[in-house]
């Protein structure tokens, strides 16, 4: 691969990229609500408005338009979690060539359908981009086709760099920082190279999910790092290893890379919706989440900040998960566990302490003649308000725990009905497994063993992980056997038996374990 280390050559490649055969010059729109809250002028570069609802067609078309006719006649192959696939499919349609796309089996149906509708041949393979990538390389070799890399290619990087070119043309002055989502690095490499060439004083800041942070770790280590596994919520950036060329460019031009969690991404999706009435996909909202984190950290005001809204290929099923988590990510909802005396009037006293705050969740079941554990969700304005409420409850003799950051509480407890169970020797585990049709049945079949399952809770989150909470009745002498079975299954897991949420609401009331 030719590395785009010659800055002048890369600038020429960006300036001559034929992206406008298929792409629009995306708008640079104000975000008035977000600007008012953060104290900065926030602008959104609307790549979600492209014909394939993502920036990816820029790089794909630039690469393919520069192939000669003989190469096009042999066809192209690509691997993609969805958006690059749509770009390749559209480019193939315009250029009159065959396209075969390998996509992970976890890809949202909306993206698979969009690729097929443009005439490309789609093959679903593996649970991650890495597995799909290896399969696509094999297909390209087998058929003598050209492989169109999603990010680690000079022409693809140049195509994505045209966003930086447009941005400086649209905002030539008073631009402080640009926030860019990072997966394999093609988008930020192209944007950063162009901006730093003309405006080195403008900061270029990457944003990654905490569970798919290959670029962050690579820059910290000074060499490319391969992640063992990646989170699938922001599937558009779920990459285990960044590109060779993109890493070199990011080391040279990117100021820093921030990491944000899923709740922050959900809150950013809501922020963009409130300002534009458009719904970004999780990867598309990454830059906004990072911009908010940076603004809170820096504390200065009055700057002009741009976030690349990179895509809007959102599975409708995922909106319920986004809506549930957005308020938590924005610190506008708190989840509390409160212990109150089991006596007449105590519930009314508790409600009086809550005051006029809106209740978003309330779960209670009689389990003990002396005390009751209440799970409650409340609308709040800030984290400091939660601290004040916790202190108020404690002063009133009502011990309380803030569960707003507890994954067991957020993913499972708030959806469970019931209460303490008399299950002896119960051990609780939380699992994550790649979501696909039949995934739950496959998971259950692999759980076969000699232990009684005393609790099971599962919710489908669209193309995100399948998440299950499982209780096993395990006599002490066979605990090691259970752990061996779970190791063999190989899914990510967390031992939750000693989580305070379990002890308060689900575990045997006599022992609390």
d(C-alpha 31, C-alpha 255), whole Å: 24
Q: What pTM did the predictor assign?
A: 0.80
Contacts of 456 (CB under 8 A, 6+ apart): 468, 469, 470, 471
Whether 434 shows a pLDDT value over 50: the answer reads yes
The answer to whether 56 is a known catalytic residue is yes
- Between 177 and 114, the more confident residue is 177
Q: What is the pLDDT of residue 41?
A: 97
Q: Do 396 and 351 form a contact (C-beta atoms < 8 A)?
A: no
pLDDT tens for residues 236-265? 898 999 999 999 999 999 999 999 999 999
Residue 28, SS3 per DSSP: strand
pLDDT tens for residues 278-300? 999 999 999 999 999 999 999 88
Q: Give me the percent of the chain exceeding a pLDDT of 70.
A: 93
d(C-alpha 431, C-alpha 451), whole Å: 17
Q: What is the pLDDT of residue 69?
A: 96
Lowest pLDDT segment from 127-131, 201-205, 344-348, 407-411: 344-348
Q: What is the pLDDT of residue 148?
A: 98
Q: What is the pLDDT of residue 510?
A: 46
d(C-alpha 497, C-alpha 503), whole Å: 8
Q: Do 152 and 133 form a contact (C-beta atoms < 8 A)?
A: no
Asked if the 414-513 domain carries CATH number 3.40.1020.10, the reply is yes
- Domains 331-405 and 414-513 in one fold: yes
Domain 7-54+154-328: assigned CATH number? 3.40.50.1100
d(C-alpha 320, C-alpha 269), whole Å: 12
DSSP collapsed to 3 states, 113-144: HHHHHCCCEEEECCCCHHHHHHHHHHHHHHHC
Lowest pLDDT segment from 51-65, 211-225, 420-434: 420-434
- Between 79 and 367, the more confident residue is 79
- Between 440 and 402, the more confident residue is 402
Work out the angle between the directed axes of helices 154-170 and 57-65 (0-180°, nearest 10): 130
d(C-alpha 144, C-alpha 191), whole Å: 32
Selected catalytic residue, list 56, 196, 203, 240: 56
pLDDT tens for residues 339-369? 888 777 777 788 888 887 887 777 776 667 7
Whether 56 shows a pLDDT value over 90: the answer reads yes
Nearest to 177 by CA among 325, 291, 22: 291
Whether 462 shows a pLDDT value over 80: the answer reads no
Q: In terms of C-beta distances under 8 Å and separation of at least 24 residues, what long-range contacts does 474-477 make, across chains too?
A: 474/425, 474/426, 474/427, 475/425, 476/425
Please compute the mean of the pLDDT values over residues 439-446 and round it to a whole number: 69
Selected catalytic residue, list 54, 310, 404, 454: 310
Asked if the 331-405 domain carries CATH number 3.10.580.10, the reply is no
Residue 308, SS3 per DSSP: strand
Averaged pLDDT score across all residues of the chain? 88
The H or E element spanning position 276 is helix 262-276
Segments making up each domain of the chain, as ranges: 7-54+154-328, 57-147, 331-405, 414-513
The answer to whether 292 is a known catalytic residue is no
Contacts of 15 (CB under 8 A, 6+ apart): 165
Q: What is the pLDDT of residue 2?
A: 42
Of 122-126, 273-277, 438-442, which one has max mean pLDDT? 273-277
Q: What is the pLDDT of residue 191?
A: 98
Fold entry, domain 57-147: Rossmann fold (3.40.50)
Please compute the mean of the pLDDT values over residues 414-420 and round it to a whole number: 70
Please compute the mean of the pLDDT values over residues 11-24 and round it to a whole number: 97
Q: Do 233 and 289 form a contact (C-beta atoms < 8 A)?
A: no
Lowest pLDDT segment from 68-72, 194-198, 251-255, 387-391: 387-391
Per-residue confidence at 118, pLDDT binned at 50, 70, 90?
very high
d(C-alpha 209, C-alpha 466), whole Å: 18
């Amino acid at each position: 691969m030719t590395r785009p280390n010659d800055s002048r050559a890369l600038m020429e490649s960006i300036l001559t990229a034929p992206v406008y055969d298929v792409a629009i010059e995306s708008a640079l729109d104000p975000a008035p609500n977000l600007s008012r809250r953060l104290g900065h002028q926030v602008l959104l570069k609307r790549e979600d408005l492209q014909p394939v609802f993502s920036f990816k067609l820029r790089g794909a078309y630039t690469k393919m338009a520069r192939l000669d006719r003989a190469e096009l006649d042999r066809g192209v192959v690509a691997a993609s979690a969805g958006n690059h696939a749509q770009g390749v499919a559209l480019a193939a349609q315009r250029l009159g060539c065959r396209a075969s796309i390998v996509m992970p089996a976890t890809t949202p149906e909306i993206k698979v359908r969009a690729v097929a509708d443009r005439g490309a041949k789609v093959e679903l393979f593996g649970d991650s981009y890495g597995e799909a990538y290896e399969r696509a390389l094999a297909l390209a070799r087998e058929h003598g086709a050209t492989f169109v890399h999603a990010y680690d290619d000079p022409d693809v990087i140049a195509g994505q760099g045209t966003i930086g070119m447009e941005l400086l043309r649209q905002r030539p002055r008073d631009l402080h920082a640009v926030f860019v989502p990072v997966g394999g690095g093609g988008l930020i490499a192209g944007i950063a190279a162009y901006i730093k060439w003309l405006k080195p004083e403008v900061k270029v800041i990457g944003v990654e999910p905490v569970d798919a942070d290959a670029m962050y770790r690579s820059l910290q280590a000074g060499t490319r790092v391969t992640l063992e596994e990646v989170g699938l919520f922001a599937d558009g950036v779920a990459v285990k290893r960044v590109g060779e060329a993109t890493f070199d460019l990011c080391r040279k031009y990117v100021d820093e890379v921030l990491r944000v969690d899923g709740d922050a991404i959900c809150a950013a999706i809501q922020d963009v919706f409130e300002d534009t009435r458009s719904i970004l996909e999780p990867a598309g909202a990454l830059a906004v989440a990072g911009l908010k984190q940076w603004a809170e950290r820096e504390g200065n005001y009055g700057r002009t900040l741009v976030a690349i809204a990179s895509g809007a290929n959102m599975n409708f099923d995922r909106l319920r998960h986004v809506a549930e988590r957005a308020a938590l990510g924005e610190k506008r909802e708190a989840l509390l566990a409160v212990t109150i005396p089991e006596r007449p009037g105590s519930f009314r006293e508790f409600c009086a302490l809550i005051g006029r705050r809106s209740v978003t969740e309330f779960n209670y079941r009689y389990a003990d003649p002396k005390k009751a554990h209440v799970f409650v969700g409340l609308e709040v304005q800030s984290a400091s308000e939660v601290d004040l409420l916790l202190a108020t409850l404690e002063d009133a003799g009502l011990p309380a725990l803030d569960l707003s950051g507890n994954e067991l509480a957020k993913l499972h407890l708030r959806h469970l009905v019931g209460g303490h169970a008399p299950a002896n020797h119960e051990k609780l585990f939380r699992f994550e497994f790649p979501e696909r049709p039949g995934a739950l049945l496959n998971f259950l079949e692999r759980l076969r063993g000699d232990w009684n399952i005393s609790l099971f809770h599962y919710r489908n989150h669209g193309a995100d992980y399948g998440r299950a909470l499982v209780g096993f009745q395990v006599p002490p002498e066979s605990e090691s056997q259970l752990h061996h079975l779970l190791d063999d299954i190989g899914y990510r897991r967390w031992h939750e038996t000693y989580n305070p949420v379990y002890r308060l609401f689900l575990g045997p009331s006599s022992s609390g374990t």
